[in-house]
């Protein structure tokens, strides 16, 4: 399949950036202007133009179409790309599943949350039985800001390596062959479990955020996690979570990238011989990221509920102990008075609760 036309579903920072970047690469791009997951596009819609800035270069890109009609948005598009937080997957499955064709590739580009499984589960719940080709990445393909009032995107990084797999995994080759035409950074993963274990955010965000909760409350937004919150001591929590995540992966015969190598491969770290916490402190990308401004934001809520809870539950299914991960889940929930085990992502909530052990999990993913 030759890719010529792409639909962007979810016009936030990632979606608007993808629209401009893929247009610059020569693809025709449509943007679906959704009610819940879309920035105000009035300035962009004046001329259907977005200015893209990257590494000191600037260009103006003319977007093929911006529309509120989902059928019009995805018509004749070989790839339908969803760029929204994990909480938006069911919402967009309801919109897309009835109208997408079986030969169209659905690419979920962002922080993973077993979104490919959830998309298909929602479609089945709606009585839609199609052979969906759904792929999921382990990270958004950009570090970026979309300045919609200026019709501009400012890209600080285009990721160098992003993991991709389809659900079910028998579709991964077809999904990869299509999606690598628009992003050459993609590498194939064995399955969506590997993609979700490669999620970089649960490793780094919840533990250090929890340990810096008092300062986050006190400064009321004047806080920089990567520059000041990750230290020679708080990094030990990151390392402990990494060890437990790796133990879960090993039980599935999955080889993961470690914290340092994963960020070097994507371009967030400079390949230098420094302690891990200093690599975060001095990262050309991370050192410029402010926040979190509150302990009730995604660094705790999303990265525990759709990240650490899943890793813990996989550990239980594989008889792998995850004491540090479990402690962060419990203390994070106590901190903001929420039960993450109750609301978080588990095999049971994914309709996979009957699966136990490596063979059953790999055979059904």
Tens of pLDDT, residue by residue over 158-211, are 999 999 999 999 999 999 999 999 999 999 999 999 999 999 999 999 999 999
Scanning the chain, the segments in alpha helix (DSSP H) are 13-24, 42-47, 70-74, 89-96, 115-125, 172-179, 192-197, 201-204, 206-211, 213-219, 235-251, 259-266, 276-282, 301-303, 309-318, 323-336, 340-343, 357-363
Helix (H) or strand (E) holding 23: helix 13-24
Residue with tokens 């028998």: 170
The Cα 102–Cα 78 span in angstroms is: 10
Strand order in the sheet with 5-9: 65-67, 28-32, 5-9, 79-82, 105-108, 133-137, 162-167, 186-188
C-beta separation of 306 from 86 below 8 A: yes
Contacts of 188 (CB under 8 A, 6+ apart): 163, 164, 165, 172, 173, 176
| CA-closest candidate to residue 279, choices 261, 292, 260 | 260
pLDDT confidence of residue 261: 85
Residues of the chain with CATH 3.40.50.720: 5-197
The Cα 356–Cα 365 span in angstroms is: 12
3-state secondary structure of 144: strand
Helix count and strand count (H, E) for the chain? 18, 12
CA dist list (Å): 151 to 38, 92, 118: 14, 25, 33
C-beta separation of 155 from 54 below 8 A: yes
Torsion angles phi and psi, residue 102, rounded to 5: -65, -20
Q: Is 112 left (phi over 0), alpha (psi -120 to 50) or beta?
A: beta
**What single DSSP character describes residue 69?**
-
3-state secondary structure of 224: strand
The Cα 274–Cα 263 span in angstroms is: 14
Helix (H) or strand (E) holding 18: helix 13-24
Neighbours of 114 (CB within 10 A): 25
Fold of 201-363: 1.10.1040
3-state secondary structure of 212: coil
pLDDT confidence of residue 115: 97
CA dist list (Å): 46 to 63, 64, 322: 11, 13, 52
Give the CATH number of domain 5-197: 3.40.50.720
Q: At what angle do helices 235-251 and 259-266 cross, to 10 degrees?
A: 90
**What single DSSP character describes residue 344?**
S
The Cα 176–Cα 15 span in angstroms is: 20
Take residue 158 and report the two structure tokens written for it. 């285009």
pLDDT confidence of residue 5: 98
Residues 32, 38, 39, 45, Cα dihedral to 10°: 10
Residue spans of the chain under pLDDT 70: none
**What length does the chain have?**
365
Residues of the chain with CATH 1.10.1040.10: 201-363
């Amino acid at each position: 399949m030759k890719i010529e036309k792409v639909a962007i579903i979810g016009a936030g920072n990632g979606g608007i950036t993808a629209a401009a970047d893929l247009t610059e690469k020569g693809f025709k791009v449509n943007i679906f202007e959704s009610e819940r997951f879309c920035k105000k596009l009035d300035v962009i819609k004046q001329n259907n133009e977005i200015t893209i800035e990257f590494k000191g270069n600037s260009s103006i890109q003319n977007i093929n179409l911006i529309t509120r009609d989902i059928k019009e948005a995805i018509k004749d598009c070989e790839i339908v790309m969803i760029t929204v937080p994990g909480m938006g997957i069911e919402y967009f499955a309801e919109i897309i599943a009835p109208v997408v064709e079986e030969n169209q590739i659905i690419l979920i580009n962002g922080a993973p949350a077993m979104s490919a499984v959830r998309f298909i589960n929602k479609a089945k719940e709606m009585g839609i039985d199609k052979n969906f080709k759904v792929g999921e990445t382990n990270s958004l393909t950009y570090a970026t800001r979309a300045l919609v009032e200026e019709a501009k995107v400012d890209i600080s990084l285009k990721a160098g390596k992003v993991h991709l797999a389809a659900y079910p995994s028998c579709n991964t080759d077809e999904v990869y062959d299509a999606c690598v035409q628009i992003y050459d950074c993609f590498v194939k993963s064995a399955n969506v479990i590997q993609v979700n274990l490669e999620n970089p955010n649960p490793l780094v965000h919840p533990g250090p955020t929890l340990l810096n909760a008092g300062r986050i409350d006190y400064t009321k937004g004047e806080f920089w996690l990567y520059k000041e919150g990750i230290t020679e001591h708080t990094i030990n929590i990151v390392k402990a979570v990494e060890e437990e995540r790796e133990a879960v992966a090993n039980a599935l015969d999955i080889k993961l990238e470690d914290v340092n190598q994963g960020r070097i491969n994507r371009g967030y770290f400079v390949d230098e011989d420094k302690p891990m916490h200093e690599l975060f402190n001095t990262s050309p990308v991370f050192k410029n990221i402010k926040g979190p401004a509150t302990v009730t934001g995604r660094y705790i809520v999303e990265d525990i509920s759709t990240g650490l809870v899943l890793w813990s539950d996989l550990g239980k299914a594989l008889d792998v102990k995850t004491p540090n991960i479990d402690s962060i889940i419990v203390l994070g929930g106590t901190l903001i008075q929420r039960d993450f085990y109750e609301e978080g992502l588990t095999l049971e909530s994914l309709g996979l609760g009957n699966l136990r052990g490596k063979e059953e999990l790999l055979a059904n993913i």
